[in-house]
Amino acid sequence: MEDISQALINYETFIQTEGNKGERTQLDRKSVKNITIENLNLSCIGSAYATFQNVTLRKVDLYSAHLNESVFNLCVFQDITLIKTVMHGAIFNNCQFKNCDFTRAEVIEAKIYGSLFEECNFSGIIFCESTTKDSRFINIKTNEDSVIVNNEEINVVWA
């Protein structure tokens, strides 16, 4: 299997040069474990059905990424751009989101267990038909365009 760090750097080069250098990387059905990813532009990346275990992302741009049906276990997201990111059917187990921007993101039919969202921007988010259990949402910014409805919440705190 190719080195995931080099693949992501190649993808960032692809984005920055409008496809003239590097290569378009898809993480579909890939497994990513025990890695820290920092300061990368991974906008529009696709990672459907991927598995992420013990991954830390800091200052990563995931603008308009597709994370459908991906599974995230023990992952940390810090200062992440998730604007217009699509997360249909994604699963988040014991993840932490700190200062992440979910503006106009789609979180539909997701499963969120034991996770923390702190100081995140949910302006214009579509967050519905999801199951959230044993999770906390602290200092979350929303606006009149935010759609947060029809979610099953078990032992969830919004503060």
Asked whether residue 6 is assigned to any structural domain, the reply reads no
The encoded tokens of residue 71 equal 């599974």
Contact criterion met (CB below 8 Å) for 85 and 104: no
Asked whether residue 1 is assigned to any structural domain, the reply reads no
Main-chain phi, psi angles of 5, to 5 degrees: -60, -45
pLDDT in the model for residue 141: 98
Tell me which DSSP letter residue 59 carries: S
- Quote the number of domains for the chain: 1
Which regions of 13-155 does DSSP assign to beta strands (E)?
31-38, 51-58, 71-73, 76-78, 91-93, 96-98, 106-108, 111-113, 116-118, 126-128, 131-133, 136-138, 147-149, 152-154
CATH number, domain containing residue 112: 2.160.20.80
Per residue in 102-142, pLDDT (tens digit) is 999 999 999 999 999 999 999 999 999 999 999 999 999 99
Range of the domain at 127: 28-158
pTM: 0.86
